[in-house]
Amino acid sequence: MKMKIIVTGGAGFIGSHVSEYYARRGHEVKVIDNLSRSKIFNLNKKISMYNWKYLKDNYDNITLIRGDIRDYKFLEKHSKDADIIIHTAAQTAVTTSITDPRTDFETNTLGTFNVLEAAKRAKNKPVIIFCSTNKVYGNNVNKIPVEEGELRYKFSEKKFQKGIPESFPVDLCEHTPYGASKLAADIYVQDYAERNEIDAAVFRMSCVYGTRQFGVEDQGWVSWFTIATLSGKPLTIYGNGKQVRDVLFITDLVEVFDAFIEKRDKLHFGVYNMGGGTKNTLSLLELLDLIKRETGKIPKIRYDNWRPSDQKIYISDISKATNHLNWTPKTSPEEGIKKLIEWIKEKNILKYFDLK
């Protein structure tokens, strides 16, 4: 059945892949984006337009609409006949949230509230996919004892061998404004779903990476490390580089979104920690080794102080998503990094960055 799908932030990294996935399957996709990324991160303006142009040039069944999720009337107008709303639009940088917490709150919390209200009033009761974050657990993750190895940290306690579960506490810790705004939005989505106002899935994402990701120092570290290494730009590592994340290639993320949508009539609502899980983890130092093996390049590195609430280890326990949605990641870090490097080289992505 042909569906009408809205993707907020659809010109961004995750949003553009979601839009492409459903457009390829013949659905009618409406992309909403304010094209603010280059301004927020002080980047070449063409970066904000890259995925927008890519979608426009390749898909006749994608409608591109420039607009802001903070504008409720605008959002309500365009959501009236939606069957699915995939909400990827957000302020995504922790450091930016500290310097400009108001914009962070208005985008992440108020923007999500607007999406929920628009969905509630839409005639088809659209299912909502919400992109949350592992930062909802805040500094509580750093209270778990860790052991330090040569290239990475690891959890000391056996009960976290599978990673962080959805039941992990969110209270009584620092979150940063970004973590707080996303947690507030996360809880709003849960509340609307629990009261049967909407059907929804909350995906608390770890590190998602892949093609068409324009990583910067403040956000998208896998892509940024790769871009900086290929360009010969010096890299700053905050902390000692032994921080560990589970990494998930973008196509695997889109497939788990779709897995929930396919099961919405049975599940109605779910909260899922989402990442590569224990089989797909990298420390910062291990990523640099992997890039070196693929490219032969070694960046110049300087070290600086740890950033606020940076988690020494975050690994998602993805067993709930696996059990509920019959899903597991398919792309290994080695395969994913190779695809990312090939895209950067093939599309000459370095030209979009001031890498002097």
Please give the positions annotated as active site: 178
Evaluate whether 62 touches 19 at the Cβ level (below 8 Å).
Answer: yes
Chain-centroid distance, C-alpha 23: 20
Axis crossing angle, helix 111-121 with helix 72-79, rounded to the nearest 10: 40
| Per-position DSSP letters for 285-311, written without gaps between them | HHHHHHHHHHH-----EEEEPPPTT--
How many other CB atoms sit within 10 Å of the CB of residue 239? Answer: 15
Determine the 3-state secondary structure of 59 from DSSP: coil
Q: Which is it for strands 199-205 and 235-238: parallel, antiparallel or unpaired?
A: unpaired
Q: Tell me if 335 sits within 8 A of 249, measured CB to CB.
A: yes
Secondary structure element (H or E) that encloses residue 43, with its range: none
With 0-12 CB in 10 A as exposed, 13-18 as middle and 19+ as buried, what is 337? Answer: buried
Which residues, including other chains, have CB under 8 Å from residue 85's CB and lie 6 or more apart?
5, 6, 7, 8, 79, 115, 118, 119, 126, 127, 128, 129
